């Protein structure tokens, strides 16, 4: 199982998904902050709970992850909601025996790792030798400012985003 907000799903997420899929028969992609009414602040990542950091719905992100995995030929991948802020609910969402694959880029990643381990989940760290090359914040900023956000996401994700209704300040320019 991998996890992330995927706001939106970008090229770094695709590398994460692909690396994890190579280690298992079935991969679950847990979409964190799936319910806007249950998002909570996290001291290790102080912006992750803000509305502007979470513009896409769970269903939109499910479409992004599914489309990117299919386009990359990675599968099977099952996209599920994952309330990362509520460890007491993980037993209702995490498939029994699932290995939790993580890449550590920040204090938030380290906090998640400790939560999984404290609750007895098996974890494996995935290498990211080049570090974090792109972030959801980078993509959202490019979308807001009319920058070249499409180079930061898999082509399938750009098509999903292009098909979404207008998102106000986040709405990317439509292709001509």
Domain boundaries, the chain: 2-170
Q: Is the pLDDT of residue 50 over 70?
A: yes
Q: Do the beta carbons of residue 128 and residue 105 sit within 8 Å? A: yes
Beta carbons within 8 Å of 158's beta carbon, 6+ residues apart:
149, 150
74 three-state secondary structure: coil
For the chain, percent of residues with pLDDT exceeding 90: 76
Task: Specify the pTM.
Answer: 0.92
| 12 pLDDT more than 60 | yes
**Rounded Cα–Cα distance for residues 62 and 59 (Å):** 5
Mean pLDDT score of the chain: 92
Query: What pLDDT, on a 0 to 100 scale, did the predictor assign at position 132?
Result: 83
Q: What's the pLDDT score for residue 77?
A: 96
User: Which of 124-128, 130-134, 164-168 is predicted least confidently?
Assistant: 164-168
pLDDT at 45: 84
- pLDDT value at 112 more than 80: yes
Rounded Cα distance, 162 and 142, in Å: 14
Q: Please list the residues that pair with 77 across neighbouring strands.
A: 27
The pLDDT-based confidence of 172 (bands split at 50, 70, 90) is: low
Structure confidence at residue 166 as a pLDDT band (50, 70, 90) = confident
Phi–psi pair at 104, nearest 5 degrees? -105, 115
May I ask the CATH class of domain 2-170?
A: alpha beta
User: In Å, what is the CA distance from 80 to each residue of 5, 9, 12, 173?
Assistant: 12, 14, 19, 29
């Amino acid at each position: 199982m991998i996890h992330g907000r995927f706001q939106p799903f970008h090229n770094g997420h695709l590398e994460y998904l692909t690396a994890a899929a190579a280690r298992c028969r079935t991969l679950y992609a847990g979409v964190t902050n799936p319910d806007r009414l249950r998002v909570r602040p996290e001291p290790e990542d102080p912006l992750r709970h803000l509305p502007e950091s979470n513009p896409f719905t769970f269903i939109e992100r499910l479409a992004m992850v599914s489309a990117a995995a299919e386009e990359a030929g990675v599968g099977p991948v099952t996209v599920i909601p994952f309330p990362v802020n509520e460890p007491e609910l993980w037993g209702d969402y995490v498939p029994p025996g699932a290995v939790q694959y993580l890449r550590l880029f920040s204090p938030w990643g380290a906090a998640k790792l400790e939560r999984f381990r404290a609750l007895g989940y098996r974890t494996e760290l995935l290498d990211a030798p080049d570090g974090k090359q792109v972030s959801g914040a980078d993509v959202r900023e490019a979308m807001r400012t009319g920058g070249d956000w499409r180079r930061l996401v898999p082509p399938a994700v750009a098509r999903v985003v292009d098909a979404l209704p207008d998102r106000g300040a986040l709405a990317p320019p439509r292709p001509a």
